[in-house]
């Protein structure tokens, strides 16, 4: 959608100022539109399980009041829908918290492999339930990246969880850590699956809020549609980069590039920077 630009008071003769103002107006309108779309999408996502819950409550209070079999079945569905709403609210809160801090990048180096191993451990059972293993390919256990341990844990959790949800059962997931080819002296963390792969045309939109390749499958797997948006915002806050490579029939690799140090002030020639 193209936002309509209202004519500015055309008294200024300074074309540059006019151009800058038009540019600001366009991006302000685009931001406003995106916010409106986000609220509409979030409301819709919450309303769907809510309507289901209300429907089942009414049925249990009315026609199925004395039906024990229906009661057990309906309560299980209601629990599922309530959990879905809880996950959605949790993800919405995470997203807004990360966005609020985005102008303040983390400053301390942490051991990324320790965080990655911890997250992998919490997801091992879920992977095993689909016949999947989580394997490591790490050259240096002690490698450090500048980051917030909780946020990076959430980022790795979202990527590994997606690999478990969307890759073929009985295939391995590989977590690789090595030098980054994109961020100078940085660290690259790879989450690789052997799933169906993602068609190329979806890749540029994958990190948009509520964007899904297959909505029914995402819902069936308990997805909120916010996992990769959260990943993108965490990476933005870390001033890192996200790379997505996917081959149909082969699988998908998400690579997170992080800085291993914070660029310091330029040092005078001949002087030695502190470690
Ligand atoms: P969701 O909650 O739906 O998983 P995400 O933002 O985490 O939302 O992911 C967006 C969409 O990207 C998913 O619905 C899925 O279609 C696709 N996707 C994410 N990760 C993978 C993957 N490893 N393999 C295939 N598709 C994936």
Please give the number of the atom of ligand 1 that sits closest to the Cα of 251. Answer: 24
Least confident span in 140-149, 221-230, 262-271? 262-271
3-class secondary structure per residue, 71-120: HHHHHHHHHHHHHHHHHHHHHHHHHHHHHHCCCCCCCCEEEHHHHHHHHH
Q: Across the chain, where does the E strand assignment appear?
A: 109-111, 133-138, 144-146, 172-179, 187-192, 241-247, 251-258
Query: Does 227 sit in the ligand 1 pocket, CB within 6 Å?
Result: yes
* Ligand 1 atom index nearest CA of 191: 23
Which pLDDT score is estimated for 26?
Answer: 85
pLDDT digits (tens, 9 = 90+) for 52-106: 999 999 999 999 889 999 999 999 999 999 999 999 999 999 999 999 999 999 9
Structure tokens at 45: 């996502």
Q: Is 69 exposed, middle or buried (0-12, 13-18, 19+ CB in 10 A)?
A: exposed
Q: pTM for this one?
A: 0.86
Question: 95 alpha carbon to ligand 1 midpoint, in Å?
Answer: 16
State the distance from the centre of ligand 1 to the C-alpha of 10, rounded, in angstroms.
Answer: 48
Query: What per-residue confidence (pLDDT) applies to 82?
Result: 96
Q: Can you tell me the distance from the alpha carbon of 227 to that of 173, in angstroms, rounded to the nearest whole number?
A: 18
Q: How far apart are CA 99 and CA 97, in angstroms?
A: 5
**ipTM, 2 decimals?**
0.99
Residue 231 CA to residue 252 CA, distance in Å, equals: 16
Burial letters for 162-179: b for 16+ Cβ neighbours within 10 Å, e otherwise?
Answer: bbbbbbeeeebbbbbbee
């Amino acid at each position: 959608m193209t936002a309509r630009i209202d004519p500015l008071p055309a008294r200024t003769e300074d074309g540059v100022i006019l151009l800058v103002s038009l540019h600001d107006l366009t991006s302000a309108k685009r931001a406003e539109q995106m916010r409106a779309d986000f609220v509409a999408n979030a409301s819709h996502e919450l309303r769907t399980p809510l309507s289901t819950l209300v429907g089942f409550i009414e049925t249990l209070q009315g026609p199925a009041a004395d039906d024990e079999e229906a009661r057990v079945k309906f309560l299980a569905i209601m629990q599922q829908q309530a959990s879905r709403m809880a996950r959605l609210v949790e993800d919405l809160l995470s997203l807004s918290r990360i966005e609020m801090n985005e102008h303040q990048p983390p400053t301390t180096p942490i051991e990324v492999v320790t965080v990655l191993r911890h997250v992998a451990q919490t997801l091992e059972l879920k992977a095993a339930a689909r016949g999947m293993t989580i394997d490591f390919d790490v050259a240096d256990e002690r490698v450090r990246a500048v980051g917030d341990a909780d946020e990076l844990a959430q980022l790795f959790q979202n990527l590994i969880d997606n690999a478990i949800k969307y890759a073929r059962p009985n295939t391995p997931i590989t977590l690789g850590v090595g030098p980054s080819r994109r961020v100078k002296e940085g660290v690259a963390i790879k989450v690789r699956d052997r799933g169906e792969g993602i068609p190329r045309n979806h890749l540029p939109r994958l990190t948009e809020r509520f964007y899904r390749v297959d909505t029914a499958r995402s819902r069936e797997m308990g997805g909120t549609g916010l996992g990769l948006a959260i990943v993108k915002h965490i990476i933005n806050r870390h001033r890192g980069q996200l790379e997505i490579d996917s081959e149909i029939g082969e699988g998908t690799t998400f690579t997170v590039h992080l800085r291993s140090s914070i660029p310091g002030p330029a040092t005078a020639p001949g002087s030695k920077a502190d470690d």
